[in-house]
Amino acid sequence: MSQITYVNGKYLPHNKAFLHVEDRSTQFSDGVYEVIAVISGNLVDPQMHYRRLIRSLTELEMNLPMSVNVLHLNIKEVIRRNQLNSGLCYLQISRGSAPRNHVIPNLIKETVVITARHSEPNGGKGAKQGVSIITTEDIRWKRPDIKSVSLLPNVLAKNQAAQRGAFEAWLVESGEEEIIIEGSSSNTWIVSQSGQVITHPEGVKMLSGVTRNRIIDLARSNGIEVLEKPFTVTQAKTASEAFMTSTSSFVVPVIDIDGHKIGNGKCGPVTIAIQKLYNDFAQRSCGEV
Ligand code: PDD
């Protein structure tokens, strides 16, 4: 866990870092967040995360209470003070604290929190061996493209997965078609029997994953065709490969969906190729080849 946490301009011992009880993030989920991977003490793809952060804030009519450059310096300082070599930086910006009222107060100042914690790079054991996932209904609000801290449906879905011994829950749009939108904290991909790499198209229904978007670029520039189109639970279960992507786990092969073995039940060659492309990119972009 973080030893030193940033709260509104102060670097505090983690056990002394607090939000006000009337912070709107706790009462209304009125805030946004980002998670950025750290390798060799450097941030992976920070500009893409800042761009998405600004978009999330803008969609909620909030402001970043400092310039992106100052934010970047603060995050780097949290990394330095925590002596973080490999792990994750968590950044949360809430609307701020004010007497509880659904109506957004005019004069309110955003609350900024930055924490850092150690974790294994490149997704750890699951990324090497592959993981099982479950599917469950997507019961989130209609704007999960905004990276808001309103994550209760995601928490319940992931917890359901954990209770069933699975690593992740893939969220399925209600309706006859059973379209897989994304995971509770990841984007979702399949490789069809004809070798097409498929992931759900961007839009309001899902988060525009930084890892996802980087992988689309890397794959295409390395001759791997990627189709951004919806796919169903049945297509996923009968795919030759499946995988998920996120900042915290990079590329993780999925070898079992709801108890159905995917392909031959082992990490597939296309997934492994994409995983290598992304891991190499992350190392390279952090200055360590
Ligand atoms: N989760 N979809 C959802 C719902 C997510 O929460 C995440 C990220 C992603 C993948 O996005 P990215 O590649 O930008 O991390 C997709 C983060 C890691 C989290 O909540 O911890």
At residue 13, the 3 state secondary structure works out as strand
Atom of ligand 1 nearest to the CA of 33: 20
Atom of ligand 1 nearest to the CA of 213: 13
Q: What is the residue with the minimal CA distance to atom 20 of ligand 1?
A: 185
Atom of ligand 1 nearest to the CA of 52: 14
DSSP characters over 218-273: HHHHTT--EEE---BHHHHHTSSEEEEEETTTEEEEEEEETTEEPTTSS--HHHHH
Instruction: Indicate the pairing of strand 226-228 with strand 197-199.
Output: parallel
Atom of ligand 1 nearest to the CA of 147: 6
Q: What is the residue with the minimal CA distance to atom 2 of ligand 1?
A: 186
- Gap from CA of 212 to ligand 1 centroid (Å): 9
- Gap from CA of 96 to ligand 1 centroid (Å): 23
Looking up tokens 């992976």, which residue turns up? Answer: 44
Interhelix angle 46-59/68-81, rounded to 10 degrees, is: 120
pLDDT computed for residue 221 by the predictor? 97
CATH number (3.40.50.620, 2.30.30.240, 3.30.30.60, 3.30.470.10) of 4-119 reads 3.30.470.10
- Gap from CA of 210 to ligand 1 centroid (Å): 8
Atom of ligand 1 nearest to the CA of 249: 18
Two tokens, residue 256: 């079992």
Q: Does domain 124-285 have CATH number 3.40.50.2300?
A: no
- Residues in CB range of 2: below 8 A, 6 or more apart: 14, 17, 78, 82, 115, 116, 117
- Gap from CA of 99 to ligand 1 centroid (Å): 31
CA dihedral 67, 147, 156, 14 (to 10 degrees): -10
- Tell me the one-letter amino acid at 180: I
pLDDT in tens, the chain (289 residues): 679 999 999 999 999 999 999 999 999 999 999 999 999 999 999 999 999 999 999 999 999 999 999 999 999 999 999 999 999 999 999 999 999 999 999 999 999 999 999 998 777 889 999 999 999 999 999 999 999 999 999 999 999 999 999 999 999 999 999 999 999 999 999 999 999 999 999 999 999 999 999 999 999 999 999 999 999 999 999 999 999 999 999 999 999 999 999 999 999 999 999 999 999 999 998 865 4
The model's pLDDT over 243-261, given as tens digits with 9 standing for 90+, comes to 999 999 999 999 999 999 9
Which residues are catalytically annotated? 147
Question: Radius of gyration (Cα) for the chain, nearest Å?
Answer: 19
Using the Cα atoms of residue 201, residue 203, residue 206 and residue 209 in order, give the sign of their dihedral: positive
Provide the residue ranges of all domains of the chain, joining segments of one domain with +: 4-119, 124-285
Q: What is the residue with the minimal CA distance to atom 6 of ligand 1?
A: 185
- Gap from CA of 48 to ligand 1 centroid (Å): 13
- Gap from CA of 227 to ligand 1 centroid (Å): 20
DSSP state of 278: H
Q: What is the residue with the minimal CA distance to atom 4 of ligand 1?
A: 185
Cα–Cα distance between 183 and 161 in angstroms, integer?
11
Cα–Cα distance between 122 and 115 in angstroms, integer?
20
Q: Which residues line ligand 1 at a C-beta cut-off of 6 Å? A: 35, 154, 182, 185-187, 207, 209-212, 245-248
CB atoms within 10 A of CB 88: 17
Q: What is the residue with the minimal CA distance to atom 3 of ligand 1?
A: 185
